Amino acid sequence: MATPAGSLDGGRLLNEVALKDPRLGQLLQNVIDGINRLGLNVGASPVGDVTPPKPPDSVSVKVSGEMMHISINHAGELNRGVRYFSEISTSPSFGQPIVIDHGTSRTSHPIPLPTQDDSSSPVTYYVRSYAQNPGGPPSAPTVVGGIGSPTGFTMTGGTKMTLLPSTGSGTAPSTGQSAGQGMGRFQKRQS
């Protein structure tokens, strides 16, 4: 039986051990199979990063009053444990977005957002979403309206507040200026 890509494999060495000591060979094979099953169940690989999921097919946004509702369409094959993130920014370049972790849900709860900044100017929001398995980097983002022409959303209501600068998410730098990170592109963030 072929070992799937990203799985631990005993290879020729395991075969040699099994020839000399069949019980030890079977024990080691059981351990390897268990590690590979665990990796698959948690969305990780015992021998490196898993491939990022394909980007979401589309992202829908509905606004009413001071509420924004995001729904992610992500068809096709997915691994259990895939997580979804949306980034909401007041800039179409998503320089310092607010990161929303949806968990495994593709449809968020409604998100309250201020409609005006501190100086009473209307705020326009831009949205993009992506998917990530726990053991790998995030997918490319899907931008509402497209990468070259993001759709801006303005809402109605009386709340006046300039949002605090983002501090990012996961293992991304705490400057908040590394968008599209989800749980992070790296296993560990250095201090």
Residues 33 and 117 placed together within one structural domain of the fold: no
Residues 111 and 43 placed together within one structural domain of the fold: no
- Burial string for 42-78 (b: 16+ CB within 10 Å, else e) reads ebbbeeeebebbebbeebebebeebebebbbebeeee
pLDDT at 140: 96
Residues 74 and 167 placed together within one structural domain of the fold: yes
pLDDT at 1: 47
Residue 153 pairs in a beta bridge with 125
Residues 37 and 63 placed together within one structural domain of the fold: no
Residues 42 and 108 placed together within one structural domain of the fold: no
Residues belonging to the chain: 191
Residues 6 and 60 placed together within one structural domain of the fold: no
Q: Dump pLDDT digits (tens) for 31-55.
A: 999 999 888 888 888 888 888 999 9
Residues 41 and 78 placed together within one structural domain of the fold: no
Residues 58 and 83 placed together within one structural domain of the fold: yes
Residues 120 and 70 placed together within one structural domain of the fold: yes
Q: What is the value of pTM for the model shown?
A: 0.79
pLDDT at 50: 87
pLDDT at 191: 67
Q: How many domains does the chain divide into?
A: 2
pLDDT at 81: 80
Residues 177 and 83 placed together within one structural domain of the fold: yes
Task: Give me the CATH number covering residue 128.
Answer: 2.60.40.10
Residues 44 and 60 placed together within one structural domain of the fold: no
- Burial string for 24-36 (b: 16+ CB within 10 Å, else e) reads ebeebeeebeeeb
Domain region containing 20 = 1-48
3-state secondary structure the chain: CCCCCCCCCCHHHHHHHHHHCHHHHHHHHHHHHHHHHHHHHHCCECCECCCCCCCCCEEEEEEECCEEEEEEECCCCCCCCCEEEEEEECCCCCCCCEEEEEECCCECCCEECCCECCCCCECEEEEEEEEECCCCCCCCCEECCCCCCCCCEECCCCCECCCCCCCCCCCCCCCCCCCCCCCCCCCCCCC
Residues 139 and 189 placed together within one structural domain of the fold: yes
Write out residues in the chain with pLDDT < 50, as ranges. 1
